[in-house]
Amino acid sequence: MAQTIDYDKIKEASAKYPKLKEINYTYGTAGFRMKAEYLESVIFRVGILGGLRSKKLNSKVIGIMITASHNPEADNGVKLVDPSGEMLEQQWEGYATQLANAQSDDDLIAVIKSIVSENGIDESKEASIVYARDTRPSGPKLVAALEEGIKAINVAGGNLGIKSTPQLHYFTYYLNYCEKPAEGSYEELADKLYYEKFAEAFHKAVGDNPCLSPIYIDAANGVGAPKLKELAEWINKINNNVLKVIIINDDINSQGKLNFQCGADYVKTGQKPPFGLTLTTEQRAASLDGDADRIVFYYVDENRTFRLLDGDKIAALAAGFIIELVKTSGLDINVGVVQTAYANGSSHAYLEKELKVPVACVPTGVKYLHHKAQEYDVGVYFEANGHGTVLFSPNALNKIHSAEKRTAEQEKAIKKLQALTELINQTVGDALSDLLFVEAILINRQWTFNQWNSAYTDLPNRLVKVVVENRQIFKTTNAERTLVEPKGLQEKIDKLVAQYKDGRSFVRPSGTEDVVRVYAEASTQKDCDELAFKVAGLVYDEAGGTGGRPSEFL
């Protein structure tokens, strides 16, 4: 039996990581995320919270990931992962915020005791945590703080080393719900299990169809570079003529390069290729983000126009292919798509009118998309930024994997569905799994990027960041499509939108940065850009813009 919590030991360890009194921490949609130098006390306390969560859940393994995803290299962050590989339960996000903001060691002990009492936690329960980090220079120091927190609460901790965020999510799930691994290094095992699973599933999904042209992968100079290289090697060990990737922006050792002028967020926001890549009309490309949990695809058409295939396009591709297989198979399975306000208006119309699939809109954040997607037999969710996955419910999995013998055509469709259930990382959005998922569909269809893109035409859109003094004053409703506060600002935005054909714009505070994001659509790119910059200027002028008014704001 494990020892009960030694509060004196926690208090002594906490003294090495005092809270910065001027900082107010909030556990948001992506956990804690900010400048790395502000995070040591927070991450020490997250180690303690992970131990409490594990004890509460009868010794299930909890995951902890140290990353700031697509943020600049100077930032870092941390988030907890529940046993199923999903994001931390919402009530416990509040506990994380309370712990992080405890002003003194005594206050910290009081919060811990309160969490134990409120949740009826048996302090003598065993507890276990696995943790990993991305490639940021601040990672090792923050891992050291995390390990001190884990030790302070007397919990078993497994260091997975440098991993992508989706790898940490998947391995957390695996340790809780799959066969317990034999003795060995968790760091090595987490890689092996991940590569083996997705390499084998990819080959099943592709079948005997011929390989497509090579695809250039911008790895954002992050963890996705070595992980994709190793995954591709596993795939090629089975068959070296099924996937051809050319990895660029793969420098994980030089400081200052992570996410700089590259990566999924840079490409999506700027609507242009990353630094170091000049595309011809024959080339296909995609960009990961810094922790490899999102991906966008792109190409240039015959007119040398840049064409982005973002999360909306991925969702449409995935939903269309799955619906076709379900119909062919004869299985009674429903399919639904979940989007956020950032989804292009044309995407929504295509899904509902052409594919005739139900579409739900939820607030931005993986937890909202994931939970809504669970309401369908097959739930497809992708944010426009390229983060997303496909969920197959237990009902769907049972029907797909236990289907009785049918016609040859039905049998073929069922086998494809079976392969897809293994190919997608259902715990969380995963750039590498999503890359293979998309590539498998395109190989099956023998489609070019242009054929994929031709399903529908995006309305021109623009995403603009506005730096503000306090993003917390922005409150939204209607799945974040309408501002409630600051009062009166939404009415002014509506008046601007009404001036443009097919105009749409909304404003929401970022969950990961000290900025407000402005999204706009209109029938032409000129009108879209004008609307976006007018709304951005309005926000800057009337809601505390700071850091110098950008010249493009109208």
pLDDT-derived band at 3, boundaries 50, 70, 90: low
Asked if the bond preceding 486 is cis, omega within 30° of 0, the reply is yes
Q: What percent of the chain stands above pLDDT 70?
A: 99
For 388-413, what is the mean pLDDT? 93
Are 342 and 365 in contact by the 8 Å Cβ rule? The answer is: no
Check pLDDT > 70 for residue 2.
no
Q: Which two tokens stand for residue 293?
A: 């949990």
Average pLDDT, the chain: 95
Which of 14, 59, 69, 329 is the catalytic position?
69
Check pLDDT > 60 for residue 342.
yes
pLDDT-derived band at 239, boundaries 50, 70, 90: confident
What is the reported pLDDT for 438? Answer: 98
- The pTM assigned to this predicted structure is 0.92
What is the reported pLDDT for 409? Answer: 95
DSSP 435-476: HHHHHHHHHHHT--HHHHHTT--PPPEEEEEEEBS-GGG-EE
CA 345 to chain centre: 22
What pLDDT, in 10s, does the model give residues 94-107? 999 999 999 999 99
Q: What are the binding residues?
A: 69, 289, 291, 293, 383-385, 508-512, 517
Instruction: Classify the C-alpha dihedral 304-209-245-192 as positive or negative.
Output: positive
Q: What are the binding residues for substrate?
A: 383-385, 508-512, 517
Check pLDDT > 50 for residue 1.
no
Q: What are the binding residues for Mg(2+)?
A: 69, 289, 291, 293
Q: Half-sphere exposure of 516 toward its Cβ, with a 13 Å CA cutoff?
A: 33
- The SS3 call for residue 428 is coil
Q: Spell out a b/e string for 211-248, using b for 16 or more CB atoms within 10 Å of the CB, else e.
A: ebeebbbbbbbbbbbbbbeebbebbeeeeeebbebebb
For 485-505, what is the mean pLDDT? 96
Q: Which two tokens stand for residue 61?
A: 């393994």
For 133-150, what is the mean pLDDT? 98
DSSP 322-349: HHHHHHHHT----EEEEE-TTS-HHHHH
Check pLDDT > 90 for residue 179.
no
CA distance 258 to 253: 9
For 40-69, what is the mean pLDDT? 97
For 45-64, what is the mean pLDDT? 97
Instruction: Classify the C-alpha dihedral 3-8-13-19 as positive or negative.
Output: positive
What is the reported pLDDT for 180? Answer: 73
What pLDDT, in 10s, does the model give residues 284-338? 999 999 999 999 999 999 999 999 999 999 999 999 999 999 999 999 999 999 9
| CA-atom Rg of the chain in angstroms | 23
pLDDT-derived band at 405, boundaries 50, 70, 90: confident
What is the reported pLDDT for 535? Answer: 97
428 vs 514 pLDDT, higher one: 428
- Give yes or no: 69 in active site: yes
Check pLDDT > 90 for residue 510.
no
- At position 157, the amino acid (one-letter code) is G
CA distance 238 to 199: 8
Ordered by where they begin, the domains of the chain are 7-187 (3.40.120.10), 192-309 (3.40.120.10), 311-439 (3.40.120.10), 461-542 (3.30.310.50)
